[in-house]
Amino acid sequence: MKFTVEAVCISAEKGVQKHEVPQIVLRQGHGIEGDAHAGPWHRQVSLLAGEAVDTMKAKGLELSAGAFGENIVTRGVDWIQASVGEIIQIGDVSLEITQIGKECHSRCAIYYAAGDCIMPRQGIFTRVLKGGTIHAQSSGYYRIG
């Protein structure tokens, strides 16, 4: 399944909205340079479908890319169908899906700013298998199943 990267985002601290940047540089086994979630763990890079964000916008919320703490906003793929262990290819970058959704123990800044947080239900988390650069309008490929 082909998809497009709509936006790429980073933040210097965890639990806050990310801000859009022109491009992100990913390092194998580390994550995104300059992002608070980078490091040797299983949630180095997060993805969220732009269509999921559109659903929240339809409720009257004014949202920008990164509002839910996502690093990569995509268009054209339904991440709810994803499975742990599957590979996402964006240009030269390879990401392995390590987690689908997440448990939020408390309401973070994202929840209070957006009125809800869809990452626990619709976000996916990955680790970087092969690094490189990703920018908005990059093409990606994901094979379901």
- Token pair for residue 73? 């906003």
Cα–Cα distance measured from residue 97 to residue 145, given in angstroms and rounded to the nearest whole number = 12
Q: Are 145 and 46 in contact (CB under 8 A)?
A: no
Calpha distance 122→101 (Å, rounded): 6
- Mean pLDDT to the nearest integer, 9-17: 91
CA–CA dist 62, 38 (Å, integer):
28
Q: What is the number of alpha carbons within 13 Å of residue 100 lying toward its C-beta?
A: 11
Q: Which domains does the chain have, with CATH numbers?
A: 2-142 (2.40.33.20)
102 band by pLDDT with thresholds 50, 70 and 90: confident
Confidence band (pLDDT; 50, 70, 90) for 99? very high
| pLDDT tier, 63 (very low <50, low <70, confident <90, very high otherwise) | confident
This prediction has a pTM of: 0.92
